[in-house]
Chains A and B, each alone.
Chain A
Amino acid sequence: MAFQLTVDDLPDLVRGAALLGTGGGGDPQIGRVLVAHALGERSITILSPEDLDDDALVIPTAMMGAPSVLLERLPRGTEPVDALRRLEAQIGRPASATMPIESGGINSTIPLLVAAQTGLPVVDADGMGRAFPELQMETFAIYGIDGSPLAIADERGYTAVVDTGADNRRMEAYARAVTVRMGGVGYIAEYAMSGADVKRTAIPGTLSLALRLGRTLREAREGHRDPIDALAEMLPDTLYRHGSRLFTGKVVDVDRRTEGGFTRGVARLAAFESDSSCEVEFQNEFLVARVDGQVRTVVPDLITALHLETGEPITAESLRYGQRVCVFAIATPEIMRTAAALEAFGPQAFGLAEEFVPVEHISAPLGGGA
């Protein structure tokens, strides 16, 4: 069902998107202000995948690079539309809608910025149902869509086109190299596809889900309920089915660097009233959470860090010493757990030794867990 999105929806939307962004996907506040500033009093048309004609051309738009760089080097604002226009010229056809490639504080909002600037509608779906660090890690790719050609733009108005045919891994590698030379962040248009392909390969309803998640957290806070409890109660009724607390404690160390066009590192947490500890590794997104050395959640299940009192999601680049945090795990949708999906974005795709075990099958929390 199509609906209109206005500036008043943005705070809930970015909060929910940052939650699905699982530590990555970019800073939600930058995403919110970016769209609010461009949109003013107008509204954006959000289309369900079913609203699309089968032969409609949908071109997803996104930011690519290190979220830690974005915190400082904010966009000029013209980059995503420059990338879109460059790709339209390459393909020889104008887009009839844009779409997010992933859910996250920035990457759910870049298509909204494009919509605010061009009047295009945005499809309520994406290719990850969460955020992942690399461009081949898309349900689009797994179910047969080529990411190429890809257009990338920077704030100088320069663009580049990467065309690696059906090889989405090389598309990622080449585009990443350009991103690094652009200063660590670039803006892209890729995975151009038909309306029929969106219906077949995208994870539907993730923008409206983000809105709902963000609203759940806010309303719990306003009603003086524990927002994290409210989240755990709401998830069973979504495509994600399950969410639970992994660990509650204080951030005691964040080892973080900008490397090869990613924000990489590890955060360590200590429990408040026991010797239990938790370690979360990240490459833009949180990849694996270990409590007292035992794996408790691993990619592609979602690991989120939430402010203990407010339930506000914290991105990996914003984690800092002394924060009081709840590490919360969410089961990924089943479409993301097939053999083909796990090959693209399971633990091995990140060089982790662990096998994927669904979070709902890993035993109940111990020690410092909630």
Chain B
Amino acid sequence: MRIGIDVGGTNTDAVLIDGGTVLAAVKSATTQDVTSGIVQVLRELGAQRRFDPAEVTAVMIGTTHFINAITEASRLAPTAAVRLGLPATAALPPFCDWPQRLVAAVDGKAYMCHGGHEFDGSVISTIDRNELRRAAEDMGERGVRSVAISSVFSPVNAGMEQEAAAIISEQLPDVHISLSHEIGRMGLLERENATIINACLRELAEQICDGLAAALTGEGFSATLYLSQNDGTLMDVEYARRYPVATFASGPTNSMRGAAFLSGLQSCAVVDVGGTTTDVGILNGGFPREATAEVSVGGVRTNFRMPDVLSVGIGGGSRVRGGDSGVTVGPDSVGYWLRDEALIFGGSTLTASDLAVAAGLAQIGDPSTVAGLDRSLVAEGLAHIVRETARVVDRMRTSAAPLPVVLVGGGSILLPDELPGVEEVHRPGQFAVANAIGAAIAQVGGEVDRIFSINPGQRDSVLDEAKDEAIRRATAAGANPGTVQVVDVEEVPIAYLPGNATRIRVRAVGDLTLDPARRARTPEPAGAARVGEGS
């Protein structure tokens, strides 16, 4: 048995799954400390269906907690960015393209230092140990608690990032250090941005990971704890502590994969209606369609691979306002106060959920509180929700071919069984906990990241060899062989090594085998690059 948990901004959902069967599903309010909400859903699962915690082999948690910390610019550690590259790169220092509000929230301080490599592995300038010691001293005085280190062409040679880390740790043994070559790909600014984001989340990641582990132990679980990653695969807690940035897109990924599982559809639009927003994504052959434009998180440009999701500020908790110029819904929401503020729960704020109950679309709370609502206000508000949702679905289409829509999320009660311009609307059972199911049926990845020698005319066969190996690793880690696909290939020529040396990184991902006889083994976390040491 496995437990999947989704910690959203409004609700914490949990499911108990055995093989491909959902045994229990619960929903509870997210708490500010995260962990007491998790304890709550674990107890509710037990109340709904008795089970022995010892029989649970894995607990998989998907959370938007870290990405929310960035978009809200709160709970972030004072962070410094050290870049090795002078005299090059000075025109665009770290944080140069960040929103001021976020720089202030991380107390962001940039240190431009000498170092870095050329594309062919030769040195731009050697590391200046005294310069780095002075920087560390200044960080100590400023109270910096986390440091991001980037170096020019570190995907080709990571040696200087490691050397700088050693110098800084020597002076500031208690600060967290994040290295850019372990986090991002080619493109200094985007890789550095991702590394700084990771750095400012490290303390929060420790708190959350410790809290989650304590909650499980406290409830008698000995199961391994995993967190969902951007690509739908899992990472263990130790990895999540060091690379919280890898959880960023797990919310939409889990919701789409959960929707595919519940509906049995491989290609569809997934409409996930939560408390505050409605997020629309596209599944293509079982995989979330990837965002192709630059991905900006809280106004910071990165080059993460993330699902393509379009959001509109409408959810179950959206405030509804009537007036002479028509009815509006959202974008502001009562959020996790829904259970106190909505009319149906005895509150005094008119929310989208109140409209749904008044129209008989759902039975929650006390329907008598909304019986007297103006009928035209209810009809107009709900029509607005349908129109906005249909518009977003239409924008996500890329062809005229029919695209079925799957409705998931607790707020999807706001929507009827028909949407304009949509041929088929599916509302699968357990739709309200699709994200938690997505976390529980997580995917398994296999990665190859090492240096290959490519003889003339052999490139295709070397690439095929690397792809096969990644696929084999995904299968060995528990992926269903028929579902494994290569999702990323990156080649970096390493010109300073002989024999056309090329760093090849291939990542393959597939569905976890749900056959209980073939239990998933420990999923393989995305490995850190091991390139350029001592060369």
A residues with a Cβ closer than 8 A to B are 29-30, 33-34, 36-38, 66, 68-69, 71-78, 155-157, 183-184, 224, 253-258, 307-310, 312, 318, 320-325
Q: Which of B72-92 contact A (CB under 8 A)?
A: 85, 87-92
Please list 30 pairs of residues, one from A and one from B, whose beta carbons are closer than 8 Å in the complex, sorted by A's number. A29-B301, A30-B189, A33-B96, A36-B97, A72-B186, A73-B85, A73-B89, A73-B116, A73-B152, A73-B188, A74-B152, A74-B189, A75-B88, A75-B89, A76-B87, A76-B88, A76-B89, A76-B90, A77-B92, A78-B91, A183-B88, A183-B119, A184-B118, A224-B395, A255-B491, A308-B292, A309-B293, A312-B294, A321-B490, A324-B398
| Option from A36, A74, A253, A322 in Cβ contact (under 8 Å) with B89 | A74
Q: Are A320 and B119 in contact (CB under 8 A)?
A: no
Q: How many chain B residues touch the partner (CB < 8 A)?
A: 43
Q: Are B92 and A184 in contact (CB under 8 A)?
A: no
Is B153 located at the chain interface by the 8 A CB criterion? yes
Bound form: Cα–Cα A66–B495 in Å: 15
Given contacts A73-B118, A255-B459, 17 further A-B contacts (CB under 8 A): A29-B189, A34-B91, A71-B186, A72-B153, A73-B88, A73-B89, A74-B91, A76-B88, A183-B118, A184-B120, A307-B293, A310-B293, A312-B292, A320-B490, A322-B488, A324-B289, A324-B292
Identify the 3 closest CB pairs spanning chains A and B, nearest first. Answer: A77-B91, A74-B89, A321-B489
Is B46 located at the chain interface by the 8 A CB criterion? no
Is B487 located at the chain interface by the 8 A CB criterion? yes
Q: Are B292 and A71 in contact (CB under 8 A)?
A: no
Q: Are B88 and A155 in contact (CB under 8 A)?
A: yes
Q: Are B91 and A75 in contact (CB under 8 A)?
A: yes
Is B380 located at the chain interface by the 8 A CB criterion? no
A323 to chain B: closest residue by CB:
B292
Binary per-residue interface labels of chain B (173-196) against chain A in the complex, 1 for a CB within 8 Å, 0 otherwise: 000000000000011110000000
Interface centre among A77, A183, A325 (most CB of B within 10 A): A183
Bound form: Cα–Cα A34–B92 in Å: 7
Q: Which of B286-322 contact A (CB under 8 A)?
A: 289-290, 292-294, 301, 305, 308
Contacts A33-B96, A310-B293 known; A72 to B490 CB distance under 8 Å?
no
Contacts of A157 in B (CB 8 A): 87
Contacts of B152 in A (CB 8 A): 72-74
Is B22 located at the chain interface by the 8 A CB criterion? no
Is B39 located at the chain interface by the 8 A CB criterion? no
Contacts of A320 in B (CB 8 A): 490
Is B110 located at the chain interface by the 8 A CB criterion? no
Bound form: Cα–Cα A363–B508 in Å: 39
Min CB–CB distance A7 → chain B (angstroms): 12
Bound form: Cα–Cα A258–B487 in Å: 25
B residues with a Cβ closer than 8 A to A are 85, 87-92, 96-97, 116, 118-120, 122, 124, 152-153, 186-189, 289-290, 292-294, 301, 305, 308, 391, 394-395, 398, 459, 463, 486-491, 493, 495
Bound form: Cα–Cα A307–B89 in Å: 28
Contacts of B87 in A (CB 8 A): 76, 155-157
A-side interface mostly: loop
Q: Are B186 and A74 in contact (CB under 8 A)?
A: no
Q: Are B119 and A66 in contact (CB under 8 A)?
A: yes
Bound form: Cα–Cα A29–B92 in Å: 11
Contacts of A322 in B (CB 8 A): 290, 305, 487-488
Min CB–CB distance B122 → chain A (angstroms): 8
Contacts of A74 in B (CB 8 A): 85, 88-89, 91-92, 152, 188-189
Min CB–CB distance B247 → chain A (angstroms): 21
Min CB–CB distance B524 → chain A (angstroms): 20
Min CB–CB distance B181 → chain A (angstroms): 12
B89 to chain A: closest residue by CB:
A74
Q: Are A321 and B488 in contact (CB under 8 A)?
A: yes
| Option from B119, B391, B486 in Cβ contact (under 8 Å) with A184 | B119
Contacts of A257 in B (CB 8 A): 493
A248 to chain B: closest residue by CB:
B398
Contacts A33-B92, A309-B398, A320-B490 known; A73 to B124 CB distance under 8 Å?
yes
Min CB–CB distance A295 → chain B (angstroms): 23
A257 to chain B: closest residue by CB:
B493
Min CB–CB distance A307 → chain B (angstroms): 4
Bound form: Cα–Cα A321–B187 in Å: 16
Min CB–CB distance A327 → chain B (angstroms): 14
Min CB–CB distance B394 → chain A (angstroms): 8
Contacts of A155 in B (CB 8 A): 87-90
Contacts A307-B293, A310-B293 known; A37 to B91 CB distance under 8 Å?
yes
Contacts of A255 in B (CB 8 A): 459, 491
Bound form: Cα–Cα A146–B486 in Å: 51
Bound form: Cα–Cα A30–B97 in Å: 10
A310 to chain B: closest residue by CB:
B293
Q: Are A258 and B292 in contact (CB under 8 A)?
A: no
Contacts of B189 in A (CB 8 A): 29-30, 33, 74
Bound form: Cα–Cα A182–B305 in Å: 33
Contacts of B85 in A (CB 8 A): 73-74
Min CB–CB distance A180 → chain B (angstroms): 9
Min CB–CB distance A275 → chain B (angstroms): 17
Bound form: Cα–Cα A122–B493 in Å: 38
Q: Are A258 and B119 in contact (CB under 8 A)?
A: yes
Min CB–CB distance A74 → chain B (angstroms): 4
Q: Are A71 and B187 in contact (CB under 8 A)?
A: yes
| Option from A30, A310, A324 in Cβ contact (under 8 Å) with B92 | A30
Contacts of A71 in B (CB 8 A): 186-188
B92 to chain A: closest residue by CB:
A74
B122 to chain A: closest residue by CB:
A183
Bound form: Cα–Cα A312–B308 in Å: 15
Interface centre among B88, B290, B305 (most CB of A within 10 A): B88
Interface centre among A37, A72, A75, A78 (most CB of B within 10 A): A72
Bound form: Cα–Cα A367–B186 in Å: 34
Contacts of B293 in A (CB 8 A): 307, 309-310, 312
Min CB–CB distance A128 → chain B (angstroms): 25
Min CB–CB distance B441 → chain A (angstroms): 23
Bound form: Cα–Cα A98–B374 in Å: 66
Min CB–CB distance A184 → chain B (angstroms): 5
Contacts of B124 in A (CB 8 A): 73, 183
Contacts of B96 in A (CB 8 A): 33, 37
Min CB–CB distance A204 → chain B (angstroms): 29
Interface centre among B118, B289, B292, B305 (most CB of A within 10 A): B292
Bound form: Cα–Cα A73–B153 in Å: 7
Q: Are A33 and B188 in contact (CB under 8 A)?
A: no
Bound form: Cα–Cα A37–B95 in Å: 11
Bound form: Cα–Cα A76–B116 in Å: 13
Contacts of A30 in B (CB 8 A): 92, 189
A307 to chain B: closest residue by CB:
B292
Contacts of B120 in A (CB 8 A): 184, 258
Min CB–CB distance B156 → chain A (angstroms): 8
Contacts of A69 in B (CB 8 A): 118-119
Q: Are B489 and A68 in contact (CB under 8 A)?
A: no
Bound form: Cα–Cα A37–B91 in Å: 8
Bound form: Cα–Cα A72–B189 in Å: 8
Contacts of A37 in B (CB 8 A): 91-92, 96
Contacts A72-B119, A320-B490 known; A308 to B398 CB distance under 8 Å?
yes
Q: Are A29 and B490 in contact (CB under 8 A)?
A: no
Contacts of B486 in A (CB 8 A): 321
Min CB–CB distance A122 → chain B (angstroms): 18
Q: Are B188 and A224 in contact (CB under 8 A)?
A: no
Q: Are B294 and A29 in contact (CB under 8 A)?
A: yes
A75 to chain B: closest residue by CB:
B91
